């Protein structure tokens, strides 16, 4: 891997400024260690793990890689104290937090020498993360999969806005699965990228093979940000999507929508492979994902494509 | 202006691959000629013009510039035959069509030697435009102002998808107001860009000064794609937006929404400056627009910023 040196590679002590998103039902030790071994930063996604399961994944990840890796913790996780204690006990050095207020836990983590990165969807939240002491932010555009912001700002607009708002490094997320998209995001002002959807279609991702195949076959317009009255989430359209969207269009209340949503939808869809009634969280970029392959190949492909684009940015114009 | 040569500059015989969008109540001969005189491509927006008004603008534009300029014609314009006849009679050499099927008029225009570009929001529509004989397409992302597609694909994902789908040149639109955004779009695969919102805040744009000032003061999240049951349109939030969005959330029918919308909302907002009850069509990028200035300065600023970014793509990393 060709050398690259910037604020993000130095912050995490990695070879290329690519971070694999810590996604529910997807990002276990197998994916995180494969990504880290390839020179990028792998993250364990703790949002779908019981505390003892998280501990198990951390222990396994340590044996699978000697490279840096991190853990993503959604701040609205019910047993948040236990997750925080686990990562401190296990000596985790990099934590990505999301879905919540960074004020509460950042200082606790920083006291243990942990590098803290917070995921935001606006420059206002980016500034709050900086003020809370975070070392970097992930700025996640409207096109990203899973839970997202209410302002619907896309990566093309969000990255310059966040870059202007904060001094700490910025990782761009949302709509990034190729090296050209990575370079575009860095020209917009990002110091690196967080890639989610592309790694869902890696061999090492723990989600169901049927979900991976559905992504490979998906087309433009097959994902949509919905359930906005409860919490905006981008997912692959299916019967469940049709049901809840129709209810929303007919004026269903937040409570009625929560009843339709029920519990365990994401697990049913992403882990168990129920493509009809499950919640299938994925980004718009799924339309550009054409195959399932090892995570290391994905890292190398993005990185080689990025470097080729740096050398020849207008190759699209070879008529 | 530094020389640049690619498929778009050759197609239009212009100096830099920047096109100013032909926007309703905004893009008259003053704006179009100022942009063309600056080395980019200016467009007269005929969607808000009576046939005789369009003719007047074309005649004035010809006296104001010796450089190429074009006309945008929305294909759903009620008196479309008259607009088509006017541009043929006046010897217009470049037509951008939007909001409709390119099959109907492209061959007629081509028979008169006119270069035809069609605006699309998906790669499927881009392919249809290519098949209809168009010379290029504008691929317009979700973040763009005004009328937009139902698939909500953002510029970051749309441009690579459209680039893959067609052989004709691609202009990127949506979220582009700076040279860095222009370079990002071209790295994604575009051969040039169409810029709308930034030119709304030019001295020469014919929309109301109050609307320009509202854009300058707008922040992230202040625009939203809405009225999706009728036709998706991105606008600046105001009382009218709140009324129609509330009705939509409560399950209002398409007819009820059309009644709320009524007629002349865009004119009221954009031309007459009614910021409360008017429809104020603008893109997400308005949050990055900080001033009102001459169109030529906007062209030069974008182009100089673009060239600086080409020379030093990672200047954001100067810690």
**B315 pLDDT exceeds 80?**
no
Q: Give every CB contact of residue B79 below 8 A, 6+ residues apart in sequence.
A: B50, B51
Smallest CA–CA distance, residue B153 to chain A, in Å, is 7
- Dist. CA B115–CA B136, nearest whole Å: 9
Question: Which pLDDT tens digit goes with each residue over A38-52?
Answer: 999 999 999 999 999
- Dist. CA A51–CA B132, nearest whole Å: 58
Assess if residue B97 is contained within a domain.
Answer: yes
| Beta-carbon separation of A188 and B188 below 8 A | no
Instruction: Output the pTM of the full model.
Output: 0.97
CA atoms within 13 A on the CB side of B195: 35
Is residue B86 located within the same domain as residue B148? yes
Tokens (6 digits) for B126: 């881009």
Assess if residue A2 is contained within a domain.
Answer: no
Is residue A142 located within the same domain as residue A176? yes
Q: How far is CA B26 from the centre of its chain?
A: 10
Q: What is the three-class DSSP state of B173?
A: strand
Pairing of strands A136-140, A170-173: parallel
In percent, the amount of chain B with pLDDT more than 90 equals 94
- Dist. CA A181–CA A306, nearest whole Å: 8
Is residue A28 located within the same domain as residue A125? yes
Q: Residue A239 belongs to what domain range?
A: 209-284
Average pLDDT for chain A:
96
**Sequence-separated contacts (24+) of B5-12 with Cβ below 8 Å:** B6/A314, B6/A317, B6/B191, B6/B192, B7/A317, B7/A319, B7/B136, B7/B169, B7/B191, B8/B136, B8/B169, B8/B171, B8/B191, B8/B192, B9/B192, B11/B115, B11/B135, B11/B136, B11/B169, B12/B41, B12/B68, B12/B70, B12/B94, B12/B115
- Identify the pLDDT of residue B319: 47
C-beta of residue B154 within 8 angstroms of C-beta of residue B120: no
- By C-alpha distance, the chain B residue nearest A172 is B156
- Dist. CA B245–CA B255, nearest whole Å: 14
HEC states along B276-301?
A: CCCCCECCHHHHHCCCCECHHHHHHH
Is residue B86 located within the same domain as residue B166? yes
- By C-alpha distance, the chain A residue nearest B161 is A288
Q: What are phi and psi of B41, to 5 degrees?
A: -110, 120
- Identify the pLDDT of residue A1: 64
| Beta-carbon separation of B143 and A157 below 8 A | yes
C-beta of residue B139 within 8 angstroms of C-beta of residue B126: yes
**A85 pLDDT exceeds 60?**
yes
- Identify the pLDDT of residue A154: 98
- Identify the pLDDT of residue A233: 97
Q: Give every CB contact of residue A246 below 8 A, 6+ residues apart in sequence.
A: none
Q: What angle do CA B57, B223, A158 make, to 5 degrees?
A: 110
- Identify the pLDDT of residue A2: 66
| Beta-carbon separation of A187 and B185 below 8 A | no
- ipTM value of the model? 0.97
- Identify the pLDDT of residue B99: 87
Taking residues A116-132, report their average pLDDT.
98
Tokens (6 digits) for B123: 């790669």
Tell me whether B157 touches chain A (CB under 8 Å).
yes
Question: Which pLDDT tens digit goes with each residue over B130-187?
Answer: 999 999 999 999 999 999 999 999 999 999 999 999 999 999 999 999 999 999 999 9
Is residue B80 located within the same domain as residue B168? yes
Is residue A132 located within the same domain as residue A196? yes
Place B314 in a pLDDT band, splitting at 50, 70 and 90. confident
* Dihedral over Cα of B123, B127, B128, B129: its sign: positive
DSSP character for B271?
Answer: I
Tell me whether B225 touches chain A (CB under 8 Å).
yes
Q: Which residue has the higher pLDDT, A19 or A229?
A: A19
Is residue B273 located within the same domain as residue B169? no
Total structural domains within chain B: 2
| Beta-carbon separation of B175 and A154 below 8 A | yes
- Dist. CA B102–CA B116, nearest whole Å: 9
Which chain A residues are within 8 Å of B176, Cβ to Cβ? 156
Taking residues A270-281, report their average pLDDT.
98
Question: Which pLDDT tens digit goes with each residue over A128-183?
Answer: 999 999 999 999 999 999 999 999 999 999 999 999 999 999 999 999 999 999 99
CA atoms within 13 A on the CB side of A271: 13
- Dist. CA B318–CA B37, nearest whole Å: 36
Assess if residue B1 is contained within a domain.
Answer: no
C-beta of residue A102 within 8 angstroms of C-beta of residue A134: yes
Considering just the CA atoms, what is the radius of gyration of chain A in Å? 18
Pairing of strands A233-236, A146-147: antiparallel
Place B289 in a pLDDT band, splitting at 50, 70 and 90. very high
Nearest to B154 among A175, A178, A180 (CB): A175
Count the helices and strands in chain A (H runs, E runs).
14, 11
Place A314 in a pLDDT band, splitting at 50, 70 and 90. confident
- Identify the pLDDT of residue B318: 52
- By C-alpha distance, the chain B residue nearest A286 is B157
Is residue A140 located within the same domain as residue A222? no
- Identify the pLDDT of residue B147: 95
Nearest to B141 among A154, A190, A313 (CB): A154
Assess if residue B2 is contained within a domain.
Answer: no
Assess if residue B196 is contained within a domain.
Answer: yes
Which chain B residues are within 8 Å of A249, Cβ to Cβ? 229, 251
- Dist. CA A190–CA A173, nearest whole Å: 9
Is residue A216 located within the same domain as residue A271? yes
- Dist. CA B317–CA B304, nearest whole Å: 20
Tokens (6 digits) for A297: 């190949």
- Dist. CA B256–CA B247, nearest whole Å: 8
**A71 pLDDT exceeds 90?**
yes
Which chain A residues are within 8 Å of B180, Cβ to Cβ? 160, 187-189
- Dist. CA A192–CA A229, nearest whole Å: 32
Assess if residue A30 is contained within a domain.
Answer: yes
Place B56 in a pLDDT band, splitting at 50, 70 and 90. very high
* Stretch (H or E) spanning A152: none
Tell me whether A172 touches chain B (CB under 8 Å).
no
Cβ atoms within 10 A of the Cβ of B24, count?
Answer: 21
Question: Which pLDDT tens digit goes with each residue over A284-311?
Answer: 999 999 999 999 999 999 999 999 999 9
**A215 pLDDT exceeds 70?**
yes
- Dist. CA B153–CA A87, nearest whole Å: 37
Assess if residue A1 is contained within a domain.
Answer: no
- Identify the pLDDT of residue A319: 47
Closest CA to A177 of B43, B188, B215, B75: B188
- Identify the pLDDT of residue A106: 98
Assess if residue B310 is contained within a domain.
Answer: yes
- Identify the pLDDT of residue A307: 96
Tokens (6 digits) for A31: 């994916």
Is residue B58 located within the same domain as residue B107? yes
- Dist. CA A181–CA A173, nearest whole Å: 10
Q: Which CATH number characterizes residue A108's domain?
A: 3.20.20.70
Question: Which pLDDT tens digit goes with each residue over B91-125?
Answer: 999 999 998 899 999 999 999 999 999 999 999 99
Is residue B214 located within the same domain as residue B146? no
Is residue B40 located within the same domain as residue B106? yes
Tokens (6 digits) for A118: 């917070």
**A318 pLDDT exceeds 60?**
no
- Dist. CA B98–CA B87, nearest whole Å: 15
Tokens (6 digits) for A253: 């209340």
């Amino acid at each position: 891997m060709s050398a690259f040196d910037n604020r993000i590679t130095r912050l995490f002590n990695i070879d290329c400024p690519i971070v694999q998103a810590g996604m529910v039902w997807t990002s276990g030790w197998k994916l995180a260690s494969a990504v880290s071994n390839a020179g990028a930063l792998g993250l364990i996604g703790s949002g779908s793990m019981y505390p003892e399961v998280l501990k198990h994944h951390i222990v396994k990840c340590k044996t699978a890689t000697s490279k840096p890796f991190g853990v993503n913790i959604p701040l609205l996780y019910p047993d948040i104290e236990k997750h925080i204690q686990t990562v401190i006990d296990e000596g985790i050095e990099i934590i990505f937090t999301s879905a919540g207020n960074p004020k509460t836990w950042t200082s606790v983590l920083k006291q243990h020498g942990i590098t803290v990165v917070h995921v935001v969807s606006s420059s206002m939240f980016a500034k709050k993360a900086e003020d809370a002491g975070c070392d970097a932010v992930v700025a996640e555009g409207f096109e990203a999969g899973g839970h997202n912001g209410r302002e619907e700002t896309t990566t093309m607009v969000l990255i310059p806005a966040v870059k202007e708002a904060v001094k700490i490094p910025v990782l761009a997320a949302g709509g990034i699965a190729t090296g050209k998209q990575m370079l575009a995001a860095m020209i917009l002002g990002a110091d690196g990228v967080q890639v989610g959807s592309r790694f869902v279609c890696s061999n090492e991702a723990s989600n169901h093979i049927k979900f991976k195949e559905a992504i490979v076959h998906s087309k433009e317009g097959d994902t949509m940000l919905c359930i906005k009255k409860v919490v905006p989430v981008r997912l692959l359209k299916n019967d469940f999507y049709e049901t809840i969207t129709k209810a929303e269009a007919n004026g269903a209340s937040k409570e009625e929508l929560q009843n339709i949503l029920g519990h365990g939808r994401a697990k049913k869809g992403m882990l168990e492979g129920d493509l009809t009634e499950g919640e299938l969280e994925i980004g718009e970029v799924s339309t550009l994902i054409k195959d399932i392959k090892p995570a290391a190949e994905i890292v190398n492909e993005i990185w080689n494509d990025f470097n080729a684009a740096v050398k020849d940015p207008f190759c699209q114009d070879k008529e």
